A and B are shown apart, each in its own frame.
Chain A
Amino acid sequence: MDRAEVDAKIREIAEPFNKKGVTITEETSFQNDLEFDSLTVMDFVAEIEDEFDIIISMNQQAEIEKYGQLVDAVTKMQAD
């Protein structure tokens, strides 16, 4: 899958978690803009992991603040 396809898929997964209907850009922050708490993060990450058959450990999650960084990380992981 290329980056655009990964992006489209993650947007689809994020949709139901985006309770306030925030417009998601590359710069959108999960904590500050989307206001994800730790339980939401767990459910959201689990869905992405299942979709792409990857693991995003908490150590890796700590490096990901913004939406664009997540798409980059997943694009790389699913290609490996």
Chain B
Amino acid sequence: MSEGISQPDQPQALEGHAGDKDLFSKFDDIIAMRQGLLDSGVEDPFNLVMEKVLSPTRAICNGRETILLGTYNYMGMTFDPDVVEAGKQALADFGSGTTGSRVLNGTYQGHKDVEEALKDFYDMDHAMVFSTGYQANLGIISTIAGKGDYIVLDIDSHASIWDGCAMGNAEVVPFKHNDIEAMEKRLRRIPEDAGKLVILEGVYSMLGDIAPLKEMVAVAKKYGAMVLVDEAHSMGFIGENGRGVVESAGVIDDVDFIIGTFSKSVGTVGGFCVSNHPKFDIMRLVCRPYVFTASLPPSVVATACTSIRKLMHGSNKRAHLWENSKNLHKGLKDLGFQLGTDEPQSAIIAVIMPDLQQGAAMWEALIKNGLYVNLARPPATPANMTLLRCSLCAEHSEEEVGEILEIFEKAGKAVGII
């Protein structure tokens, strides 16, 4: 699942209304819902502007100095001096952009270097870099699972996964979130000779819960399915080498594809797939979202490459991020907030709100007190919950986590949630 503002991850057909005026009439319900929220007087949660970014954890938002607790800058790499310097150098040496596809004039030395860095990071044979993580999922899934193949996936999957499924025309079979038995039942019923792909995420970003990958990957293998795991929200801090839940669950060797992104822990933009499949390189010719778009700018791949290599040695930062996650989880629980997981499982802590109105009021109270979190609301959330999603950064200090808890207490009491 993703924080898709006001739409669910799973694409849905919108119904037209009688007396339609034009193609935009199908959005009337969404327009009314948004207007209703704004009319109630709250600051628009989806129109925040960061006028100045002071550090990975601080910015000036709508004129106020604000602690950032809703970015995916988990490892705080965006202002790392080596990362910034690498980007400046590449900008000077290679120019501002490639103006071409990876398969034509868009592969520079930097693209090769970042793919080498990914191979080293994951200890895998192949790495392929896309322009975003969205396109990595879209491209790999739609290319390998086509008409007549079956995709078995978790119902809470990210929008980019759903869109990849739809684009490839495979038979799509979802199962209940993290339910091993429901997944197995579906795999068992698929015709034995059909091609099968199981798609899972290491960390699910709405509630910050992790998948039982040890069991699930074993079941997938038992039925001869290939396995793709999206590790967007775990890179750099879950698993001994930061390779994700696949590593901490001990199944990395049984997984066929790992999808990841540069837009979170790596601190820039871009996406990738790593794999040990002997024929993997053919993807570069047959995967349309790789071929028919321009490659990443030289400065972006240079920052990504430097960041990934630094993340390989980031064990101190990793430990501090986990401390932050545990402290925030415990603090919020002690204050009486209802949380998405009983124990902290990742760097995302989701605070469950009673309803959208109180969620929006709470969000506003937090931002006015100088704290930014993500507001996630139905239908983009599991079980139609309204969530305040907090994502921690390795650069949040212990004192800052204390400050965050004070703001939560003040806002929660003012809104009447605790």
Contact = CB atoms under 8 A, between A and B. Distances in A.
A34 to B, nearest CB: 15
B189 interface: yes
Contacts of A43: 176
A69 to B, nearest CB: 16
Interface in A1-53: 31, 37-39, 42-43, 46, 49-50, 53
A49 B187 CA distance: 12
Interface residues of A, number: 16
B171 interface: yes
B182 interface: yes
B172 A57 contact: yes
Nearest to A50: B185
Interface residues of B, number: 21
B306 to A, nearest CB: 41
Nearest to B147: A59
Q: Which of A39, A50, A55, A59 has the most CB of B within 10 A?
A: A55
Given A38-B12, A39-B384, A49-B189, A59 B171 contact: yes
A55 B12 contact: no
A79 interface: no
A57 B176 contact: no
Interface in B133-185: 150, 155, 169, 171-176, 182, 185
Given A39-B384, A42-B176, A46-B176, A55 B186 contact: yes
Given A38-B10, A46-B182, A50-B185, A58 B155 contact: no
A54 B383 contact: no
A57 B189 contact: no
A38 B171 CA distance: 17
A27 B115 CA distance: 55
Given A38-B8, A38-B10, A55 B189 contact: yes
B172 A58 contact: yes
B189 A58 contact: no
Interface in B379-399: 379, 383-384
13 contacts: A38-B10, A38-B12, A39-B155, A39-B383, A42-B155, A46-B176, A46-B182, A49-B186, A55-B171, A55-B186, A57-B150, A58-B171, A59-B172
- Minimum-distance CB pairs A-B, first 7: A57-B171, A58-B172, A55-B189, A57-B173, A59-B171, A42-B155, A57-B172
Given A53-B189, A55-B186, A58-B173, 18 more contacts: A37-B384, A38-B8, A38-B12, A38-B379, A39-B384, A42-B155, A42-B174, A42-B176, A43-B176, A46-B175, A49-B186, A54-B189, A55-B171, A55-B173, A55-B190, A58-B174, A59-B169, A60-B171
